[in-house]
Amino acid sequence: MLTLLVFILLTLVAGYFHLTNGVFDMSVMDVIKTLLRIDPDPKFDLVIFQFRLPRIIIASLVGIGLGMAGTVIQGITRNGLADPGILGINAGAGAAIVAFMFFFQMSGVTFFKESWFSILAMPLFGFVGGLAAVVIIFIFSWRNGALDMQRLILTGIAISSGFGALSLYISLKMNASDYEMAAVWSVGSIYSANWTYIIMIAPWVLILGFVMYRKSYLLNYFQLEDSSTKSLGISVEKEKLIFLLCSVGIISVCVSVSGSISFIGLMAPHIARRLVGINHRYIMLSSAVVGMFLLVISDYFAKTIFQPAELPVGIVVSIIGIPYFLYLLAKSRV
């Protein structure tokens, strides 16, 4: 509980920095005044409500989603190095979304702002792509009735670059404005956050997150041999499938707003496990808040380090996440 509070607090602090700093600095009082609607200044209103606040909220939601999905993926594959990004689920969802942009949204101008159809349909498309990636991963890394851990990662790497090539190919067929949008989006960035995106992803993250949290106790049993889990009366395959569908769903919505962001789903569960031990009920929640914190702070760095130029947050996360991955790899006895 304490950990949760600490991380929520940390996220708020990061959010605070995020709000006050930027191309346009403002003081604490300005922010508080604007938020509490005490003689609001339209200039601050614009910056806070149209640019910074949506961005922070999106970063938090995506962080929560990726953190939880990472916990689930690591739990059901029993592989501490698994991450939705590394396994290519992000890339699969991404390719499907690029295809969606290509087929349904030929003009970049009306994108998102007008059409509710696209807002609702885009994550669904992503879901199909993510699922395709999962199926391919399973086909190629299933051996002797179990998932081979190393092959899992390698297959993931392969399908990431495969779907990456596919996305590149599709995006090259697009017209210039769509291409621009797809290119910015695909590196993993939260530049263009707005309230419509938030409305689009919040319900998914909350509902699927809730389902995963309610079922998270099952992940503890999955760490045992499948046969012993079955003897406890748990239908392993069915539950794993539900978990997998939920996590692919949550990843797809995250990818559809922020592009592919790897390594959050890797780091958050590990940090959470360090903090709260091995019970997945706690890990799940802590991983969500840790993921939230990591992404908000990374997005803050992405925004400010190279001011006024911005980095895609995906790059910041990779630069932090890869050394961590290598460290885990060095430590693991796989």
Under 8 Å between Cβ of 193 and 54? yes
If one asks whether residue 179 binds other proteins (CB under 8 A), the answer comes out as no
Choices 10-18, 153-161, 202-210, 268-276 (CB under 8 A): range interacting with other proteins: 153-161
If one asks whether residue 212 binds other proteins (CB under 8 A), the answer comes out as no
Q: Cα–Cα–Cα angle for 325, 331, 334, nearest 5°?
A: 95
Residue 147 DSSP one-character state: E
If one asks whether residue 176 binds other proteins (CB under 8 A), the answer comes out as no
Nearest one of 76, 49, 51 to 240, comparing CA atoms: 76
If one asks whether residue 153 binds other proteins (CB under 8 A), the answer comes out as yes
If one asks whether residue 191 binds other proteins (CB under 8 A), the answer comes out as no
Give rounded-to-5 percent helix, strand, coil for the chain. 75, 0, 20
If one asks whether residue 329 binds other proteins (CB under 8 A), the answer comes out as yes
The two structure tokens encoding residue 331 = 């430590």
The two structure tokens encoding residue 163 = 């779907």
62/328 Cα distance (integer angstroms): 23
**C-beta of 268: minimal distance to other proteins in Å?**
18
21: left (phi over 0), alpha (psi -120 to 50) or beta: beta
Interface of this chain with other proteins, residues 244 to 273, rule: CB under 8 A: none
82/26 Cα distance (integer angstroms): 40
Residue number with CB closer to other proteins (266 or 275): 266
Residue number with CB closer to other proteins (160 or 216): 160
Task: Tell me how far the alpha carbon of residue 3 is from its chain's centroid.
Answer: 21
If one asks whether residue 189 binds other proteins (CB under 8 A), the answer comes out as no
If one asks whether residue 5 binds other proteins (CB under 8 A), the answer comes out as no
122/16 Cα distance (integer angstroms): 31
58/295 Cα distance (integer angstroms): 10
Indicate which single residue of 2, 39, 143, 145 sits in contact with other proteins (rule: CB under 8 A): 143
If one asks whether residue 162 binds other proteins (CB under 8 A), the answer comes out as yes
Indicate which single residue of 168, 184, 206, 245 sits in contact with other proteins (rule: CB under 8 A): 168
3 state SS for 220-257? HHHCCCHHHHHHCCCCHHHHHHHHHHHHHHHHHHHHHH
Residue number with CB closer to other proteins (119 or 187): 187
If one asks whether residue 124 binds other proteins (CB under 8 A), the answer comes out as no
Indicate which single residue of 1, 29, 37, 333 sits in contact with other proteins (rule: CB under 8 A): 333
Indicate which single residue of 119, 121, 147, 157 sits in contact with other proteins (rule: CB under 8 A): 157
If one asks whether residue 150 binds other proteins (CB under 8 A), the answer comes out as yes
Which residues here bind other proteins, judged by CB under 8 A?
Answer: 136, 140-141, 143, 148, 150-151, 153-155, 157-159, 161-162, 164-166, 168-169, 172-173, 305-306, 309-311, 315-316, 318-319, 322-323, 325-326, 329-330, 333-334
